[in-house]
Chains A and B, each alone.
Chain A
């Protein structure tokens, strides 16, 4: 980080040790400040609710959102439908068709139309179905247009099928179309398979960048960096402490994401998933050095956070953290390849859900470490101790 030469600690010419001070070897002396700084940084991090929120809760919200949207649809109960009076397409449906109907909608009976409509208005039921002289009417609330449209579709299918059956009876020919209700669970699994690794990549990138940027600016602004400059601590120890803290945060994020994905959303991991650890390590280094750069050029914490956002958020979209870029134009995918997050996401997908082995992480790690080296060098150049 510093471009100045840092004298080694614990050289042999040390003055005789005074009472109470450490008699440890040079190495022990070097290790102690690092440990203390790491601990101090870590405590500062976990005691700040806001940083905890941004690093853990915020990305998790996305996982729950994405995971939830698809999974909930698949597992949702059949919609409640109130049938008033006789509805022959349901009542007289053959057994097989009736089973399919029951899978799609949960039927209750009501004699009074007004009472039934009141229930729909109150949200206790999704729709009311009546039949009047061969015309099936579906009434639903505009408040839940999606569910209403679904019922409409289901009822259309039921009517269609009844028509077919009547037609079949009349002509003796087998029905050309039949109605079946199927769940969308397979699709939702695919979504969680994609979303967990890519959102995790984004979460790690975000907290590493923000952590380094905010930390650097905060310590510089408060004068702590100047104070540490007068203490026998190497610049590399300050940087290493930050690396350590960010790595721990990344691993905690990984544990929570994977745990929640597997536990709550049916994420199925490939056998090579532990390879996310070296990937996260390389990714953390890359985004730490990007954060250091943001911190080096920013005067205020707000500026640093803004700059980090400006870098990471568009990158997340362009790297397919929120949705796949398979359908994106070629030039967009070319831009995407120039971004470190794209390669982190790629590697994570490969080892977590695509059954790919160690060879899949080599290129992403080389690229991420390359980014780390370049940005660390630039930030070391631009680094300032004082505000």
Chain B
């Protein structure tokens, strides 16, 4: 059921802009795969080339062993896509959008209610698409991608406009799809989302693949310091600097932040001094990995 995806030395140029620059990776059948990168990194371009919407300048892409750019209906029926900007039939209701996409893909209109419920749009079933909110449109767009029960799903920033509830509900939906053996490829700017969902993530920037591994492995590789946060009055700045194992200490608006690679030592010492007011501890996250790899500068 799951579909294997191979990307080999993929390069895409628009005039003198190189949007994708020799990217190679393989997505295994049934894998949950994430594409991360700053704005303009080339995620959408990569994804749309895999979907068959663009033909690569050079390099090769295959989905289930076939060339997606040929847009063979048999392959298209196995692929579900949610494009970065949603597109609907004008003045059709939510349920009519699903019916229409369903009919185009040749599936009966049986599961539509269930699908609408999954994306939380049951109440909006008969609302015309022009009357939906941004997040509701995005959820409908995802439902349209799933209407024909595809073997592989491509989602371009599916949770970009969603509220926290909708985002977590969608995570459940996507996990469910993936658990049944389907391949899922998504792009996102939410690192905790990638950490939560993805088996492996690819981090791209300037069209190049920077890292490709499981989120856990990437975080370990970064060997990021643990951040210990305290209330400003918990311990004097000078005393904190003198703590064994403390690498750096700074005072900011939210309090005191101690960076350390020996959190056990620092915490034990803080405990001994009963200076644990407002304690928070955070380990390195995928976001640290991301910022470490792609820098802190704005992207064009």
Contact = CB atoms under 8 A, between A and B. Distances in A.
Interface of A: 7-11, 13-15, 18-22, 24, 29, 32-33, 35-37, 39-41, 43-44, 47-48, 218, 222-224, 226-233
Contacts of A24: 106
B124 interface: no
Contacts of B78: 15
Interface in B27-79: 51-53, 70-74, 76-79
A68 B76 CA distance: 56
Q: Which 5 A-B pairs have the closest CB atoms?
A: A36-B103, A232-B73, A223-B87, A47-B91, A224-B87
B53 A44 contact: no
A232 B76 contact: yes
Contacts of B73: 7-11, 232
Contact of A230 (B71, B96, B102): B71
A226 B53 contact: yes
Q: Could you say which of A35, A37, A227, A229 has the most chain B C-beta atoms within 10 Å of its C-beta?
A: A227
Nearest to B72: A7
B74 A32 contact: no
A36 B104 contact: yes
Contact of B101 (A9, A15, A231): A231
Given A7-B72, A15-B78, A43 B103 contact: no
Contact of A39 (B85, B100, B105, B107): B100
Contacts of A10: 73
B108 A223 contact: no
A10 B53 CA distance: 21
B91 A13 contact: no
Contact of B106 (A32, A39, A41, A226): A32
Q: Could you say which of A7, A37, A40, A229 has the most chain B C-beta atoms within 10 Å of its C-beta?
A: A40
A22 B149 CA distance: 12
B87 A230 contact: no
A362 B104 CA distance: 37
Given A44-B90, A48-B91, 14 more contacts: A7-B73, A9-B73, A21-B77, A29-B106, A35-B103, A44-B89, A47-B91, A224-B89, A229-B53, A230-B51, A230-B71, A231-B76, A231-B105, A232-B104
B104 A226 contact: no
Contact of B83 (A18, A40, A226): A226
A37 to B, nearest CB: 7
Contacts of B81: 227, 230
